[in-house]
Amino acid sequence: MKARLAFLSVLLVVAATSAFAADVLLPTFAWNIAGNGANNWSSEVYLTNPGAEAISVRLAATYVGRIQDTHPCLLPSPVTIDVPAYSTKGWVGNRIWMDMGCPDFILAGLLLHAEAPFIVNSRMVNTFAAPNPATAGLFTGLSQEVPGIPVESLADKGGTYMLPALGWEPSPCGPARFNNTLQVVNPGDVDIEVTLMLDPSGTATGFLVDGRPVAAPYVVTIRARTWVQIKVAAELLRSVVCGPPRLADIFFRTSGPVALYGSVVDRATQDPRTTMPISIAVTP
Protein backbone atom coordinates (compact mmCIF):
# COMPACT_ATOMS: atom_id res chain seq x y z
CA MET A 1 0.00 0.00 0.00
CA LYS A 2 2.80 2.46 0.93
CA ALA A 3 4.68 1.62 -2.28
CA ARG A 4 1.51 2.23 -4.31
CA LEU A 5 0.86 5.61 -2.71
CA ALA A 6 4.53 6.57 -3.15
CA PHE A 7 4.24 5.71 -6.84
CA LEU A 8 1.09 7.81 -7.16
CA SER A 9 2.94 10.70 -5.47
CA VAL A 10 5.73 10.46 -8.05
CA LEU A 11 3.13 10.63 -10.82
CA LEU A 12 1.69 13.75 -9.23
CA VAL A 13 5.09 15.45 -9.19
CA VAL A 14 5.58 14.64 -12.87
CA ALA A 15 2.13 16.03 -13.69
CA ALA A 16 2.75 19.20 -11.70
CA THR A 17 5.96 19.97 -13.56
CA SER A 18 4.72 19.22 -17.08
CA ALA A 19 1.25 20.51 -17.93
CA PHE A 20 0.50 20.24 -21.65
CA ALA A 21 -2.46 21.15 -23.84
CA ALA A 22 -3.12 17.46 -24.40
CA ASP A 23 -3.85 16.70 -20.74
CA VAL A 24 -7.31 15.34 -19.96
CA LEU A 25 -8.73 14.74 -16.48
CA LEU A 26 -11.17 11.86 -16.07
CA PRO A 27 -12.96 13.02 -12.92
CA THR A 28 -14.10 9.59 -11.71
CA PHE A 29 -12.70 6.11 -12.29
CA ALA A 30 -14.02 3.11 -10.36
CA TRP A 31 -13.01 -0.52 -9.95
CA ASN A 32 -15.09 -2.89 -7.81
CA ILE A 33 -16.80 -0.08 -5.86
CA ALA A 34 -19.78 -1.27 -3.85
CA GLY A 35 -22.80 0.99 -4.20
CA ASN A 36 -26.30 1.14 -2.78
CA GLY A 37 -27.82 -2.31 -2.18
CA ALA A 38 -26.46 -4.88 -4.63
CA ASN A 39 -24.91 -2.29 -6.96
CA ASN A 40 -21.22 -2.62 -7.86
CA TRP A 41 -19.44 -0.16 -10.16
CA SER A 42 -16.40 -0.50 -12.44
CA SER A 43 -15.18 1.76 -15.24
CA GLU A 44 -13.97 1.25 -18.76
CA VAL A 45 -12.24 4.10 -20.60
CA TYR A 46 -12.36 5.00 -24.30
CA LEU A 47 -9.43 6.93 -25.80
CA THR A 48 -10.05 8.57 -29.17
CA ASN A 49 -7.26 9.78 -31.46
CA PRO A 50 -8.71 12.14 -34.11
CA GLY A 51 -5.29 12.78 -35.66
CA ALA A 52 -3.36 11.36 -38.60
CA GLU A 53 -0.51 10.03 -36.41
CA ALA A 54 -0.55 7.30 -33.77
CA ILE A 55 -0.27 8.51 -30.18
CA SER A 56 0.64 7.04 -26.80
CA VAL A 57 -1.64 8.06 -23.94
CA ARG A 58 0.09 8.02 -20.55
CA LEU A 59 -1.42 7.84 -17.08
CA ALA A 60 0.19 10.96 -15.61
CA ALA A 61 -1.46 11.13 -12.17
CA THR A 62 -4.00 9.40 -9.96
CA TYR A 63 -6.07 11.38 -7.44
CA VAL A 64 -7.24 8.79 -4.95
CA GLY A 65 -10.53 8.96 -3.09
CA ARG A 66 -10.69 5.35 -1.88
CA ILE A 67 -8.32 2.44 -2.40
CA GLN A 68 -7.61 -0.99 -0.98
CA ASP A 69 -4.56 -2.79 -2.28
CA THR A 70 -3.95 -5.91 -0.20
CA HIS A 71 -2.34 -8.07 -2.90
CA PRO A 72 -0.68 -5.90 -5.57
CA CYS A 73 0.19 -8.04 -8.56
CA LEU A 74 2.87 -5.90 -10.22
CA LEU A 75 5.57 -3.46 -9.25
CA PRO A 76 4.59 0.14 -10.08
CA SER A 77 5.49 0.95 -13.68
CA PRO A 78 4.53 3.61 -16.26
CA VAL A 79 1.14 3.03 -17.87
CA THR A 80 0.77 3.85 -21.58
CA ILE A 81 -1.91 2.95 -24.10
CA ASP A 82 -1.09 3.16 -27.81
CA VAL A 83 -3.91 4.53 -29.98
CA PRO A 84 -3.60 4.30 -33.80
CA ALA A 85 -4.50 7.23 -36.05
CA TYR A 86 -8.21 7.97 -36.55
CA SER A 87 -9.34 5.36 -34.04
CA THR A 88 -10.61 4.67 -30.54
CA LYS A 89 -8.90 2.30 -28.14
CA GLY A 90 -10.68 0.78 -25.17
CA TRP A 91 -8.82 0.65 -21.86
CA VAL A 92 -10.92 -2.05 -20.30
CA GLY A 93 -11.25 -5.26 -18.30
CA ASN A 94 -8.16 -7.12 -17.18
CA ARG A 95 -5.79 -4.57 -18.79
CA ILE A 96 -7.09 -1.67 -16.74
CA TRP A 97 -7.14 -3.78 -13.54
CA MET A 98 -3.51 -4.83 -13.99
CA ASP A 99 -2.37 -1.33 -14.99
CA MET A 100 -3.83 0.00 -11.73
CA GLY A 101 -1.80 -2.60 -9.80
CA CYS A 102 -4.57 -5.17 -9.22
CA PRO A 103 -6.36 -3.28 -6.41
CA ASP A 104 -9.18 -4.83 -4.41
CA PHE A 105 -11.02 -1.59 -5.20
CA ILE A 106 -10.21 1.97 -6.20
CA LEU A 107 -12.17 5.18 -6.69
CA ALA A 108 -10.14 8.03 -8.12
CA GLY A 109 -9.66 10.73 -10.73
CA LEU A 110 -7.16 10.08 -13.51
CA LEU A 111 -4.97 12.55 -15.39
CA LEU A 112 -4.13 11.30 -18.89
CA HIS A 113 -1.50 12.84 -21.19
CA ALA A 114 -0.52 12.56 -24.85
CA GLU A 115 1.69 14.59 -27.17
CA ALA A 116 -1.26 15.43 -29.44
CA PRO A 117 -4.94 16.25 -28.82
CA PHE A 118 -7.14 13.30 -27.86
CA ILE A 119 -10.60 12.68 -26.39
CA VAL A 120 -11.51 10.69 -23.28
CA ASN A 121 -14.86 9.15 -22.52
CA SER A 122 -15.74 6.47 -20.00
CA ARG A 123 -18.58 4.29 -18.86
CA MET A 124 -19.08 3.34 -15.21
CA VAL A 125 -20.88 0.00 -15.39
CA ASN A 126 -23.09 -1.58 -12.74
CA THR A 127 -21.90 -5.19 -12.76
CA PHE A 128 -24.02 -6.09 -9.65
CA ALA A 129 -21.06 -8.20 -8.47
CA ALA A 130 -17.30 -7.94 -8.15
CA PRO A 131 -15.88 -7.68 -11.70
CA ASN A 132 -13.97 -10.64 -13.07
CA PRO A 133 -10.30 -9.59 -13.50
CA ALA A 134 -10.00 -12.15 -16.31
CA THR A 135 -12.51 -10.23 -18.44
CA ALA A 136 -10.67 -9.13 -21.58
CA GLY A 137 -13.46 -7.21 -23.30
CA LEU A 138 -16.15 -4.66 -22.59
CA PHE A 139 -18.49 -4.86 -19.61
CA THR A 140 -22.23 -5.24 -20.08
CA GLY A 141 -24.91 -3.70 -17.90
CA LEU A 142 -26.54 -0.49 -16.76
CA SER A 143 -24.01 2.33 -16.89
CA GLN A 144 -23.26 6.02 -16.45
CA GLU A 145 -21.20 8.06 -18.89
CA VAL A 146 -18.38 10.09 -17.34
CA PRO A 147 -16.55 12.28 -19.89
CA GLY A 148 -12.96 13.42 -19.62
CA ILE A 149 -12.31 17.15 -19.21
CA PRO A 150 -9.36 18.91 -20.91
CA VAL A 151 -7.37 20.64 -18.16
CA GLU A 152 -7.79 24.02 -19.86
CA SER A 153 -11.57 23.59 -19.53
CA LEU A 154 -11.65 22.96 -15.78
CA ALA A 155 -13.78 25.25 -13.62
CA ASP A 156 -11.50 27.94 -12.22
CA LYS A 157 -11.20 31.01 -10.05
CA GLY A 158 -13.26 34.00 -11.14
CA GLY A 159 -16.08 32.08 -12.78
CA THR A 160 -19.60 31.14 -11.71
CA TYR A 161 -20.87 27.73 -12.76
CA MET A 162 -24.29 26.13 -13.00
CA LEU A 163 -24.83 22.42 -12.38
CA PRO A 164 -28.26 21.74 -13.91
CA ALA A 165 -31.11 19.29 -13.41
CA LEU A 166 -30.56 17.68 -10.04
CA GLY A 167 -33.41 15.63 -8.55
CA TRP A 168 -34.86 17.85 -5.80
CA GLU A 169 -37.35 16.58 -3.21
CA PRO A 170 -38.21 19.09 -0.48
CA SER A 171 -41.30 17.06 0.50
CA PRO A 172 -40.78 13.41 -0.49
CA CYS A 173 -43.61 10.90 -0.26
CA GLY A 174 -41.60 8.33 1.70
CA PRO A 175 -37.93 7.54 0.96
CA ALA A 176 -36.23 9.96 -1.43
CA ARG A 177 -36.38 8.77 -5.04
CA PHE A 178 -33.26 10.60 -6.23
CA ASN A 179 -29.73 10.75 -4.82
CA ASN A 180 -27.53 13.67 -5.90
CA THR A 181 -23.78 13.61 -5.49
CA LEU A 182 -21.06 15.98 -6.63
CA GLN A 183 -17.83 14.28 -7.71
CA VAL A 184 -14.91 16.67 -7.26
CA VAL A 185 -11.19 16.46 -8.11
CA ASN A 186 -8.60 19.02 -7.04
CA PRO A 187 -5.57 18.27 -9.27
CA GLY A 188 -3.47 21.10 -7.86
CA ASP A 189 -0.79 21.27 -5.19
CA VAL A 190 -2.77 23.53 -2.83
CA ASP A 191 -6.13 23.18 -1.10
CA ILE A 192 -9.02 25.00 -2.75
CA GLU A 193 -12.45 26.14 -1.65
CA VAL A 194 -15.63 25.35 -3.58
CA THR A 195 -18.59 27.57 -2.69
CA LEU A 196 -21.99 25.92 -3.26
CA MET A 197 -25.02 28.16 -3.90
CA LEU A 198 -28.71 27.78 -4.69
CA ASP A 199 -28.79 30.79 -7.03
CA PRO A 200 -26.11 32.65 -9.00
CA SER A 201 -26.01 35.55 -6.54
CA GLY A 202 -25.63 33.34 -3.49
CA THR A 203 -28.63 34.85 -1.68
CA ALA A 204 -30.95 31.82 -1.47
CA THR A 205 -30.35 29.60 1.54
CA GLY A 206 -31.17 26.22 3.02
CA PHE A 207 -30.21 22.76 1.71
CA LEU A 208 -28.57 19.53 2.87
CA VAL A 209 -24.89 18.66 2.43
CA ASP A 210 -23.90 15.10 3.35
CA GLY A 211 -27.19 14.81 5.20
CA ARG A 212 -26.73 17.92 7.35
CA PRO A 213 -28.76 21.14 7.01
CA VAL A 214 -26.51 24.04 6.02
CA ALA A 215 -26.93 27.65 5.00
CA ALA A 216 -26.01 28.66 1.47
CA PRO A 217 -23.59 29.82 0.29
CA TYR A 218 -21.70 26.87 1.77
CA VAL A 219 -17.93 26.47 1.47
CA VAL A 220 -16.27 23.05 1.08
CA THR A 221 -12.48 22.71 1.31
CA ILE A 222 -11.01 20.26 -1.22
CA ARG A 223 -7.56 19.06 -0.23
CA ALA A 224 -4.74 19.14 -2.76
CA ARG A 225 -4.51 16.23 -5.21
CA THR A 226 -7.65 14.48 -3.97
CA TRP A 227 -11.00 13.10 -5.15
CA VAL A 228 -14.07 13.68 -2.97
CA GLN A 229 -17.80 13.05 -3.16
CA ILE A 230 -20.37 15.49 -1.74
CA LYS A 231 -24.02 14.55 -1.28
CA VAL A 232 -26.55 17.37 -1.77
CA ALA A 233 -30.32 17.41 -1.29
CA ALA A 234 -33.22 19.75 -0.71
CA GLU A 235 -34.00 20.99 2.77
CA LEU A 236 -37.19 19.26 3.95
CA LEU A 237 -40.32 21.40 4.06
CA ARG A 238 -42.31 20.42 7.15
CA SER A 239 -45.29 22.46 6.01
CA VAL A 240 -45.84 20.24 2.94
CA VAL A 241 -46.77 16.63 3.67
CA CYS A 242 -46.09 15.10 0.27
CA GLY A 243 -45.04 16.46 -3.10
CA PRO A 244 -43.51 15.14 -6.33
CA PRO A 245 -39.79 15.42 -7.16
CA ARG A 246 -38.71 18.38 -9.27
CA LEU A 247 -35.60 19.60 -11.03
CA ALA A 248 -33.24 22.06 -9.37
CA ASP A 249 -29.91 23.66 -10.21
CA ILE A 250 -26.85 24.13 -8.01
CA PHE A 251 -24.35 26.92 -8.61
CA PHE A 252 -20.74 27.09 -7.51
CA ARG A 253 -17.55 29.11 -7.49
CA THR A 254 -14.04 27.84 -6.87
CA SER A 255 -10.77 29.34 -5.64
CA GLY A 256 -8.71 27.24 -8.07
CA PRO A 257 -8.91 24.72 -10.93
CA VAL A 258 -11.30 21.87 -10.19
CA ALA A 259 -13.13 19.09 -12.01
CA LEU A 260 -16.71 18.85 -10.77
CA TYR A 261 -19.78 17.11 -12.13
CA GLY A 262 -23.09 15.87 -10.75
CA SER A 263 -24.43 12.33 -10.54
CA VAL A 264 -28.20 11.81 -10.17
CA VAL A 265 -29.38 8.28 -9.38
CA ASP A 266 -33.01 7.21 -9.62
CA ARG A 267 -33.28 4.77 -6.72
CA ALA A 268 -36.43 3.15 -8.15
CA THR A 269 -34.49 1.85 -11.16
CA GLN A 270 -30.83 2.34 -10.04
CA ASP A 271 -30.40 4.34 -13.25
CA PRO A 272 -27.69 7.05 -12.99
CA ARG A 273 -27.22 10.12 -15.15
CA THR A 274 -24.47 12.72 -15.41
CA THR A 275 -24.86 16.49 -15.31
CA MET A 276 -21.91 18.68 -16.31
CA PRO A 277 -21.25 22.26 -15.17
CA ILE A 278 -21.93 25.27 -17.39
CA SER A 279 -20.03 28.54 -17.11
CA ILE A 280 -22.50 31.41 -16.76
CA ALA A 281 -22.36 35.19 -16.81
CA VAL A 282 -23.78 36.73 -13.65
CA THR A 283 -25.36 40.16 -14.04
CA PRO A 284 -25.08 42.62 -11.13
Q: Residue 41 pLDDT > 60, yes or no?
A: yes
Nearest 10 degrees: Cα torsion 110, 115, 117, 119: -30
Give pLDDT tens digits for 210-239: 999 999 999 999 999 999 999 999 998 777
Distance CA 26, CA 123 (A): 11
Q: Last residue of a domain, which of 136, 152, 168? A: 152
Report the pLDDT averaged over residues 73-97.
Answer: 87
pLDDT at 3: 45
CATH number for position 228: 2.60.290.11
Task: Tell me which of 127, 152, 177 is where a domain ends.
Answer: 152
pLDDT of residue 176: 87
Residue 134: its pLDDT value, please?
Answer: 67
Cα 216 from Cα 124, distance rounded (Å)? 31
Q: What is the pLDDT of residues 152-208, one digit of tens each?
A: 999 999 999 999 999 999 988 888 899 999 999 999 999 999 999 999 988 888 899
Q: What is the pLDDT of residue 8?
A: 45
207 lies in the same domain as 258: yes
Residues 33 and 74 in one domain: yes
**219 and 193 assigned to the same domain:** yes
> What letter represents residue 148's amino acid?
G
Q: Is there a single domain that holds both residue 162 and residue 148?
A: no
Domain co-membership, 122 together with 208 = no
Q: Indicate if 41 and 163 belong to the same structural domain.
A: no
* Last residue within a domain, chosen from 117, 152, 187: 152
Q: What is the mean pLDDT of the chain?
A: 88
| pLDDT above 70 (res 14) | no
| Cα–Cα distance for residue pair 10/186, rounded to 1 Å | 17
Range of the domain at 179: 154-280
Same domain? 147 vs 243? no
Per-residue model confidence (pLDDT) at position 133: 67
Total structural domains within the chain: 2
